[in-house]
Chain A
Amino acid sequence: MKFQGKTYKFGDNVNTDEIIPARYLNTSDPQELAAHVMEDADPGFPGLVKPGDIVLAGRNFGCGSSREHAPLALKTAGVACIVAASFARIFYRNAFNIGLPILECPDAASETQAGQKIAIDAGQGIIKNLTTGKTYQVDPIPPFMQELVAAGGLMEYVKRNLTAKF
């Protein structure tokens, strides 16, 4: 999986109330959710984000509620990958379950500036800042998570493995 895109940058502890506020949770329509993604953290974001863009964040990205609407809104808005210093557990799980690749890399997340272009090779675990030329090596995604992403998310994985009793 390779991505290349423009970056948006957020701080530490960006919580699910900021990613998709509860006032929009009376729907589970991905397009409606995407129209409000991150608006409480940056009101301009939903209007600016383009397919293929990459989100950078600090520690504990996606903390708070279990709402899958958060990674779903980001994915539907076109975000190709998220690189953060760390992710909150449920967000991490949800992102892989819906097939949104995310990577933990504190150095790349802090050193890359908003608006710079980066290239990611998730399979190799390499992040390259195309603006500065700096390259980062990331911890590999655990094998089971790679299987999930390769399958296209948990439901596809389950369907393929149903006979094997999942």
Chain B
Amino acid sequence: MPRPMTISEKILARAAGKKYVAPGEMILARLDLCLGNDITAPLAIKEFYGNGGKQVFDRKRVALIHDHFTPNKDIKSAQQTKLLREFAHEQKLKYYWDQGECGIEHALLPEQGVVVPGDLIIGADSHTCTYGALGAFATGVGSTDLAAAMLTGRAWFRVPPSIKLIFRGKMPRDVTAKDLILLAIARLGVDGANYRALEFTGPVISGLSMAGRFTMSNMAIEAGGKAGLVVPDAVTKKYSLGRAQRKPRYYASDADAVYEKVEEFDVSRLEPLVAKPHLPSNVEPVSRLKNIVLDQAVIGSCTNGRIEDLREAAKLLKGKKVSSRVRTIIFPATPTIWKQALKEGLMEVFTSAGCIISPPTCGPCLGGHMGVLAEGERAVATTNRNFVGRMGHTKSEVYLASPGVAAASAIKGRLAHPQEVRGSKWKQGVKK
């Protein structure tokens, strides 16, 4: 029966070859892309071969990205990467990057135009939901789903109900997309969107850059969300122009589409937020957490490792030094971002401030390598999770925040509001 649909329902209906789908319906759908990384793809490759797989369904619709334990952390992870590399070459995959071309999957694929608006995508990585920012339906799955997808080009889905999140008001200075999504997660709870698709709308979202939208969609999973979409607009179209490797399909939700729930947020009085250990929903304004002394600051990741994020951090770090107690690690998400940061002089700012600059890798975010925490240590991070042991020892702590808060905190040696360091370079911070 004809029914109004949300953007999520329209994409799923199209991919299932149906006119309409409704929440709760089980569908088998044709995928526009499937992807995996050096942790999840090895299992998928073993299952692919183990079940008689010879050729992937379409060499242009399978992307493999080694980003978690690369540059190879140890012998075992080197073996995993090798497995990916050999598979990618054998299958002649179009979307495989090696050497200095590889970056963090959820920044790299949009940047290279491999994921495009209107796509249905599964990725064997929970932050696959990032691509929702482009108006694609993208969701995280496991290795077996990836194996089946590589074999058949299809996946099963239960059509999720949608939750609409409307953001209104005027964004105060220092408040960023990271704060908006932390605010939403705090309200929804870490399982508030479980089995559901989020849709970010409202004038504040319209005013966000693609970078900001990626940050928000990226963390939909931290509220349990199956996906987190933004309906494409002029910003999306401009981003896709000359970049999209396939023809974008711009879907919009019908005006009378049905939502399970609508939540409204007024951001006008919002302050920069921090998610305290050990849940992303454990959110408090940074101004109430200024006594939290830090050992490490981590700026980067699929959440906040784009050039806009690095600029935000560099603005505060320029001409200053990070605290001698705080190991400050900058990890740009892709080689293109890395080079752009170099070109803009940001790398000079970071190195002069005493930061460590890492190659693109997921390493520190998941306590993999390149910045693991010891017992009792605390980090502020622009990443997406602060679970027990996420960044290292089970008795270490992670505070999630925006790049501005992370940079200000690195300078102060404790959680700090960007205001506290801005324009004060003659009074504090610079010690010779």
Which residues from chain A sit less than 8 Å from chain B, CB to CB? Answer: 13, 15, 17-18, 21-23, 25-28, 40-41, 59-60, 63-69, 71-72, 86, 88-90, 93-94, 97-98, 142, 144, 153-156, 158-159, 162, 165-166
Contacts and interface: CB of A to CB of B under 8 A. Distances in A.
Interface in B309-339: none
25 contacts: A15-B387, A17-B390, A18-B387, A18-B388, A22-B39, A27-B76, A27-B80, A40-B389, A40-B394, A41-B388, A60-B194, A64-B126, A66-B126, A68-B144, A69-B43, A72-B43, A93-B145, A94-B145, A97-B148, A98-B142, A144-B156, A159-B52, A162-B152, A165-B152, A166-B154
B191 A26 contact: no
Nearest to B385: A64
A66 B154 contact: no
Instruction: For the complex of A and B, list the 8 residue pairs with the smallest distance between their C-beta atoms, beginning with the closest.
Output: A68-B142, A94-B142, A26-B76, A60-B191, A97-B144, A26-B77, A22-B366, A66-B126
A25 B365 CA distance: 14
Contacts of A65: 125-126, 366
A63 B190 contact: yes
Contacts of B388: 15, 17-18, 40-41
Contacts of B51: 155-156, 158-159
A90 B26 contact: no
B20 interface: no
Interface in B136-168: 140-145, 147-148, 151-152, 154, 156, 158
A68 B69 contact: no
A68 B124 CA distance: 9
B144 A60 contact: no
Contacts, number: 141
Interface in B24-41: 26, 28, 39-40
B389 A18 contact: yes
Interface of B: 26, 28, 39-40, 42-43, 46-47, 50-52, 68-69, 73-74, 76-77, 80, 123-126, 128, 140-145, 147-148, 151-152, 154, 156, 158, 190-191, 194-195, 224, 226, 279, 366-368, 385, 387-390, 394
A45 to B, nearest CB: 14
A165 to B, nearest CB: 8
B109 to A, nearest CB: 16
Contacts of A68: 40, 43, 124, 142-144
Contacts of A67: 39-40, 142
A93 B69 contact: no
A13 B189 CA distance: 11
Contacts of B194: 60, 86, 88-89
A65 to B, nearest CB: 5
A22 B154 CA distance: 29
B227 to A, nearest CB: 10
A66 B125 contact: yes
Contacts of B142: 66-68, 71, 90, 93-94, 97-98
Given A155-B51, A166-B28, A98 B191 contact: no
Contacts of A18: 387-389
B367 A98 contact: no
A27 to B, nearest CB: 5
A46 B223 CA distance: 29
Contacts of B143: 28, 68, 94
Contacts of A21: 367, 389
A94 B142 CA distance: 6
Contact of B367 (A22, A89, A159): A22
Contact of B195 (A22, A27, A66, A89): A89
Contacts of A159: 51-52
A155 B158 CA distance: 18
Nearest to B69: A26
A123 B85 CA distance: 42
Nearest to B226: A89
